[in-house]
Amino acid sequence: MRLERFVIEAGDDTFTLDLHPRLTVVAGMGSAERTSLVGEIVGALGGGRSGVHLEIEERSGRHLAVFRPTSGRHRVIDVGQASDVTDERSAGGGAVDLLGHMGVSAAAARRTMCFGTGDLVTSSDRGRAVEVLAGLDQRRVWAAAKALHTADGELTIEAEALGTAPEDAALVDVVEARHAAVERAADRFEATRRHTFWIAGASSVATLPGMVVAGAAGLAFLAIGVLAVIASLVARAQLIRANQAEEAALADAGVNSYLGFQLQRVNSLLGDDVSRRSLMNAAGQRRAALAEWQQLAGDIPVEWALENRDEVRAAARLRREVDALNALSSTAPEAPAEETDALVHALVTRLAEARSLAGEGVPLVLDEPFEHLDSSVKLLLLEMLGRSAGEPQVIFLTEDEDVASWARLEAITGDLAIIEPVPEHVARDRSITI
């Protein structure tokens, strides 16, 4: 949904905003005026008060005019068809409510539509996850996500073919790996114990004659024996740890011994050797894909990443634009990465929410969000906003001269519009237009 015109009747005066389909900067507005206008815009899309009129374009391309006269029935007109569609947009009591028709409350719409200084930084898990993924090589991260998603699907197919679950295959894999580790540790312990037994025995026998012949130097034989005993104890400790790890895996499988595990699970899960190999191969591929994903994204679930891929890609694209704009600027200091990253994420998130609200989307109204930023950071973010606006439509309310100066230059291309106050002596004899 895009606002084309917004009109407020106030006695004999009329306040009119003709809005650009992509980005409109309304300059020269103080804090009180911005707050009031934000409330009027959101309210006009909701129930709205008399004297507030709208012209909008729906996502389908249909143009509607909403008339709320101070006296008389509120109406909605389909401009293209020249027909009255008020009943389609009316809430209880006959009030025209565009947000209610979309299933959105005015409070929820305001949270989505309004973006100010307090919305710049987010510390949510979602925000951190988007920032992490946006900072990675996008081709590599999405290739890894696709590989893991595919491996999960193939493992599920193989497991279902055997009448089990993918988790069972992974559990079998873990138990077998732990049992193999126990066998290796047992072999090492046995070999170490056999060799250190003879070394320790020989050293003990040689210690006394050595001391007689070489004095204190003969104690070296005793030291060799002690080292041999220590090596044997270390190998034994490794075997104990391997046994404990196997016992933990067996406990997860619901059995007390590896033999019991084989008796309970092998016949059902591994009876068909061909199916066993297919299942284990699928489990191995899934394990390798998971390792690759975790190396890149840590503990971020791949399902969450795929569901939010558009937001991550948008954040990554804006981050690249920040770097490109920084590189093109020979005078401005480089913007602090953590500051711009936080703002990029906050903007991208809110743009996405406004674009997708109720499937129709609503305009995003910026209430001086860059107020406390350094000029160099502000310019970079304005450039990004200028490139991203349009889906959704953006209305930027400001009294910042940096923003107004930027908008005046950009308006020359036609990609945005800037609306500034008309001098008082001009407005005195006609309707006020801002």
Q: What is the pLDDT of residue 172?
A: 62
Task: Say whether pLDDT at 91 is over 80.
Answer: no
Query: For the residues of 310-334, what is the DSSP string, one character each?
Result: HHHHHHHHHHHHHHHHHHH-SSSPP
Residues 106 and 145 in one domain: no
Tell me which residue range forms the domain holding 118.
Answer: 2-125+313-427
Structural domain includes residue 135? no
Q: Kindly report whether the peptide bond that precedes residue 369 is cis, defined as omega within 30 degrees of 0.
A: no
Residues 149 and 119 in one domain: no
Report helix, strand or coil for 397: strand
* Total count of domains within the chain: 2
Residues 95 and 231 in one domain: no
C-alpha closest to that of 128 among 303, 383, 291, 298: 298
d(CA 9, CA 7): 7
d(CA 90, CA 188): 81
**Which residues, 6 or more positions from 168, have their beta carbon under 8 angstroms from its beta carbon?**
159, 265, 269
Task: Say whether pLDDT at 432 is over 60.
Answer: no
Task: Say whether pLDDT at 278 is over 60.
Answer: yes
Helix 106-113 to helix 337-356 angle (10° resolution) is 140
pTM above 0.75, yes or no: no
Euclidean distance between the first and the last CA atom of the chain, given in angstroms as a whole number: 22
Domain boundary among 304, 329, 347: 304
- Paired residues of 52 in beta bridges: 8
Structural domain includes residue 131? no
pLDDT (tens digit per residue) in 386-402? 888 998 999 999 999 99
Maximum average pLDDT range among 42-46, 140-144, 353-357: 140-144
Helix 138-161 to helix 166-214 angle (10° resolution) is 110
Q: What is the pLDDT of residue 85?
A: 92
Q: What is the pLDDT of residue 142?
A: 95
Strand arrangement, sheet containing 13-18: 13-18, 2-10, 52-57, 63-67, 75-78, 83-84
Q: What is the pLDDT of residue 254?
A: 59
d(CA 384, CA 348): 10
Q: By percentage, how much of the chain surpasses pLDDT 70?
A: 72
Residues 42/110, Cβ–Cβ less than 8 Å: yes
